């Protein structure tokens, strides 16, 4: 996605060097439509510069700080030397994330999505989260409720959430569910214990997933799963509950999975 407006003074921008002159470097801004900035030779690098090409090359992607914007003269003054390594790394990662989010928008709404719908949805995400990527990340973690405050339609929310959960990897996601386990047998305590061990996976849970089962209040047990992404977490939660249900039913008992607490005690 490219912005139609102008960058702000002090902003960090990503661009490609498309022309090098003795007096400086022209940079095509990747994040803004039809915008080009100039890095004067004194802003290319610290110290005396004999040859600009010793410091930058045509086609090179650079991160620049916006020094000044003059819309009347269509001029954007930039600096490369005022951007430190940490800022450069963070900005490049931010830009790459937005490129991913741009592709996710097309996955969500199709390659033939209208410019109007794309802009409308994108502006909603930008207004609420500051970036498309952050919007998708929050949708992956929190689902439809993350997008409930905007003016998106129910269908648009569903498309965004489904795409986010299929594509976004976040540091970790924690989901919780509950299973009610009952056994009519004299050995009911042992039957339930066996079902709980089955829920915990008996060593079959993936290494990147943390799963624990705790007692809430008879007959309810909490299953909590921590995983790298929502899709995996949800899948492992349902699998754990399913294993418990199968195990208890083999002993003539019953198991019932639900997402909300039912007992009065935590």
Report whether pLDDT(233) > 50. yes
- Quick one: 162 and 177 in the same domain? no
Longest CA–CA separation in the chain, Å? 90
Residue 216 sits in a domain whose CATH number is 3.30.70.1130
Whole-number average pLDDT of the chain: 92
Q: Is-contact 3 32, C-beta < 8 A?
A: yes
Has this prediction a pTM greater than 0.75? no
- Quick one: 188 and 154 in the same domain? no
Residue 43 sits in a domain whose CATH number is 2.40.50.140
- Pick left, alpha or beta for residue 50 (phi over 0 → left; psi -120 to 50 → alpha; otherwise beta): alpha
Q: Which residue has the higher pLDDT, 206 or 185?
A: 185
- Quick one: 226 and 156 in the same domain? no
Give kind and range of the element (H or E) at residue 223: strand 220-227
Which residues face 223 on adjacent strands? 177, 213
Digit-coded pLDDT (tens) for 30-55? 999 999 999 999 999 998 998 999 99
* Boundaries of domain holding 149: 86-167
- Quick one: 129 and 100 in the same domain? yes
> In the structure, what pLDDT confidence band is assigned to residue 203 with cuts at 50, 70 and 90?
confident
Give kind and range of the element (H or E) at residue 88: helix 85-109
In a domain, 3, yes or no: no
Which residues face 182 on adjacent strands? 254
User: How far apart (Å, rounded) are the C-alpha atoms in residues 175 and 226?
Assistant: 7
User: How far apart (Å, rounded) are the C-alpha atoms in residues 258 and 220?
Assistant: 10
In a domain, 263, yes or no: no
Burial of 50 (0-12, 13-18, 19+ CB in 10 A): exposed
In a domain, 131, yes or no: yes
- Quick one: 56 and 103 in the same domain? no
Domain count, the chain: 3
Least confident stretch, 74-78, 145-149, 191-195: 145-149
- Quick one: 123 and 181 in the same domain? no
| In the chain, % of residues over pLDDT 70 | 98
- Quick one: 67 and 21 in the same domain? yes
> In the structure, what pLDDT confidence band is assigned to residue 86 with cuts at 50, 70 and 90?
very high
- Quick one: 95 and 142 in the same domain? yes
Residue 195: what pLDDT? 95
Residue 109 sits in a domain whose CATH number is 1.10.150.190
Residue 265: what pLDDT? 45
- The domain boundary residue, chosen from 52, 82, 112: 82
What's the average model confidence in pLDDT over 104-133?
Answer: 94
Q: Give the pair of three-digit tokens for residue 189.
A: 């305590």
- The domain boundary residue, chosen from 129, 148, 167: 167
Least confident stretch, 40-44, 70-74, 138-142, 156-160: 138-142
In a domain, 66, yes or no: yes
- Quick one: 97 and 123 in the same domain? yes
| Phi, psi dihedrals of residue 260, rounded to the nearest 5° | -105, 150
Report whether pLDDT(171) > 80. no
């Amino acid at each position: 996605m490219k912005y139609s407006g102008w960058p702000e003074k002090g902003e960090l921008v990503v661009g490609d060097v498309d022309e090098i002159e003795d007096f400086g470097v022209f940079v095509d801004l990747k994040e803004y439509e039809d915008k080009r900035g100039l890095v004067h030779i004194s802003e290319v690098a610290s110290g005396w510069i004999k040859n600009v090409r010793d410091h930058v090359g045509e086609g090179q992607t650079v991160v620049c700080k916006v020094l000044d914007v003059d819309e009347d003269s269509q001029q954007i003054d930039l600096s490369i030397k005022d951007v430190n390594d940490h800022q450069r790394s963070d900005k490049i990662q931010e830009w790459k994330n937005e490129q991913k989010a741009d592709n996710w928008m097309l996955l969500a709404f199709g390659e033939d999505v209208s410019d109007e719908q794309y802009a409308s949805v994108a502006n909603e995400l930008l207004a609420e989260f500051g970036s498309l990527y952050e919007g998708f990340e929050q949708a992956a973690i929190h689902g439809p409720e993350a997008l409930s405050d905007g003016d998106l339609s129910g269908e648009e929310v569903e498309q965004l959430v489904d795409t986010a959960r299929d594509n976004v990897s976040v540091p970790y996601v924690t989901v919780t569910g509950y299973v009610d386990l009952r056994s009519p047998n004299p050995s009911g305590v042992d039957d339930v214990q066996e079902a709980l061990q089955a829920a915990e996976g008996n060593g079959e849970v993936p290494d990147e997933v943390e799963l624990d089962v705790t007692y809430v209040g008879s007959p309810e047990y909490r299953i909590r799963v921590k995983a790298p992404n929502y899709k995996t977490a949800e899948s492992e939660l349902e699998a754990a509950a399913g294993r418990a249900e199968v195990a208890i039913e083999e002993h003539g008992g019953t198991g019932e999975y639900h997402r909300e607490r039912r007992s009065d005690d935590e």
